[in-house]
Amino acid sequence: MGWTPLYLKMPDKNVLVVGAGEVGQRRALRFLDAGANVVISGGKIPPQLIKLGATHKPRAELPQWIDWADLVVVASGDHQLNQKVAQLAEDKLVNRADCPEEGNLIVPSSFFIKDVQFSIFTQGKSPLMAKELRKRIQAVVSEEDILQLELQHFTRELLKEKVPDQKKRRDYLYQILNDKKVNEFLDRGKLEEAKNYIVHFIQTPRDLD
């Protein structure tokens, strides 16, 4: 226990991935996608990761690259090597793919539905159940939910310009979330029509008390 979820801005951060197997490659790809500088130390790495910007370095240079890294991912199949790397990286953020509880950073199962990102952490108890929960979440979240998110963002930005009182802005957002006409538009996938309706909705004086 003692874990708490966080999101890190990764552009220009340095990430060392020790291990070029399936797990190491997945971790490297995730951090490359997030804009990090990624060095991989291990066996042969696929050309795709090189094309995306990853650099391969020999294990003999590990101390140098551990010192360079902001975050160290330990994902090799060699337990002794993993222990050694973790010890050398003790003052760094360390993700132990082999023994998550021995690191200080978890990389959870994560996926997007449009602009919404979901992360699932089972305390290391069951990666299989993390996959099953992912499937269930994907089956429940609808296209209408995603459109409502887009509409709420549009409305929040509009309200910041039109309504100085924060409580009234919140009340507007709740009204719009439950507005029958809005939900009819979104149910038909008509986001632009819903936005036009919201503009009129906000401009029309109404009692929000």
The pLDDT tens digits of the residues spanning 85-105 come to 999 998 899 999 988 889 999
133 is a domain residue: no
Claim to verify: residue 87 and residue 19 sit in the same structural domain: yes
pLDDT, position 118: 94
113 is a domain residue: no
Claim to verify: residue 99 and residue 3 sit in the same structural domain: yes
pLDDT of residue 209 exceeding 50, the answer is: no
Residue 177 near residue 167 (C-beta atoms within 8 A): no
Claim to verify: residue 1 and residue 102 sit in the same structural domain: yes
pLDDT of residue 32 exceeding 80, the answer is: yes
Query: What is 146-182 written as a DSSP string?
Result: HHHHHHHHHHHHHHHHH---HHHHHHHHHHHHT-HHH
**129-159 per-position pLDDT tens digit:** 999 999 999 999 999 999 999 999 999 999 9
Residue in 64, 63, 38 with CA at minimum distance from that of residue 49: 38
pLDDT of residue 208 exceeding 50, the answer is: no
Give the model's confidence band at 206: pLDDT under 50 very low, under 70 low, under 90 confident, else very high.
Answer: low
What does the alpha-carbon distance between residue 82 and residue 174 come to, in Å, rounded to a whole number?
Answer: 50
136 is a domain residue: no
161-181 as b/e, with b when 16 or more CB fall inside 10 Å?
A: eebeeeeebeebeeebeebee
Claim to verify: residue 22 and residue 82 sit in the same structural domain: yes
pLDDT, position 150: 95
Give the model's confidence band at 125: pLDDT under 50 very low, under 70 low, under 90 confident, else very high.
Answer: confident
Q: Report the mean per-residue pLDDT for the chain.
A: 93
Cα-trace Rg, the chain: 23
pLDDT, position 203: 81
- Joined tokens for residue 173: 């957002």
Claim to verify: residue 157 and residue 65 sit in the same structural domain: no
Q: How many domains does the structure of the chain reveal? A: 2
Containing H/E element for 81? helix 79-88
148 is a domain residue: yes
Claim to verify: residue 42 and residue 86 sit in the same structural domain: yes
Tell me the residue range of the domain where 147 lies. 143-203
Claim to verify: residue 99 and residue 151 sit in the same structural domain: no
- Joined tokens for residue 17: 């991935």
Report the pLDDT averaged over residues 169-198.
95
What is the three-class DSSP state of 121? coil
pLDDT, position 71: 98
Residue 77 near residue 92 (C-beta atoms within 8 A): no
pLDDT, position 205: 55
pLDDT, position 144: 92
Task: Tell which of 87, 107, 127 closes a domain.
Answer: 107
pLDDT, position 2: 84
Give the model's confidence band at 1: pLDDT under 50 very low, under 70 low, under 90 confident, else very high.
Answer: low
Q: Which amino acid is at 63?
A: P
**43-83 per-position pLDDT tens digit:** 889 999 999 999 999 999 999 999 999 999 999 999 999 99
What does the alpha-carbon distance between residue 182 and residue 173 come to, in Å, rounded to a whole number?
Answer: 12
Phi–psi pair at 163, nearest 5 degrees = -125, 105
